[in-house]
Amino acid sequence: MAQTCNVLVVDDSPMVFKAVKRALEPEGFQVMDQAFNGQEGLEKIAVLNPDVIILDVTMPIMDGIQTAEALFQRNPTAKVIMLSAMGDDDLTSKAKRMGVKLFLTKPFKPEELVSSIRSII
């Protein structure tokens, strides 16, 4: 890959962070850090300025929908991949209206995540 792509994971599960790292690092992507809720996510996005944000729907303190709303207000061109679980349909349609374009259902396949990222960078 010609240039590094920096990825931030905003998900309350350490397992998801590990799975994202396992999927992306062999492909040359840099998985920078994890935030465990949306509030921490927004803080880390402001500091780290990631190229792509992987955003969970269900998190404590501030969920993925509220996070996406705040994020797109600050940065309308933010590149977000939303990770949803089965049964999150109402929430994902809300996220779509807010501007999230890419969705993966957990558990995602490593190659799905890689191709999703490649499609938005």
Nearest of 96, 35, 81, 84 to residue 60 by alpha carbon: 35
**40 scored as a contact of Mg ion (CB under 5 A):** no
Q: Which of 6, 30, 39, 58 binds Mg ion (CB under 5 A)?
A: 58
CB of 7 to Mg ion, least distance (A): 17
Sheet holding 80-84, edge to edge: 30-35, 6-10, 52-56, 80-84, 102-105
Angle, alpha carbons 56-65-8 (nearest 5°): 40
**39 scored as a contact of Mg ion (CB under 5 A):** no
**56 scored as a contact of Mg ion (CB under 5 A):** yes
**12 scored as a contact of Mg ion (CB under 5 A):** yes
In the bound state with Mg ion, the residue whose beta carbon lies nearer, of 11 and 51, is: 11
**CA–CA distance, 43 with 45 (Å, rounded to integer):** 5
In the bound state with Mg ion, the residue whose beta carbon lies nearer, of 59 and 113, is: 59
Summarize as ranges the residues that interact with Mg ion (CB under 5 A).
12, 56, 58-59
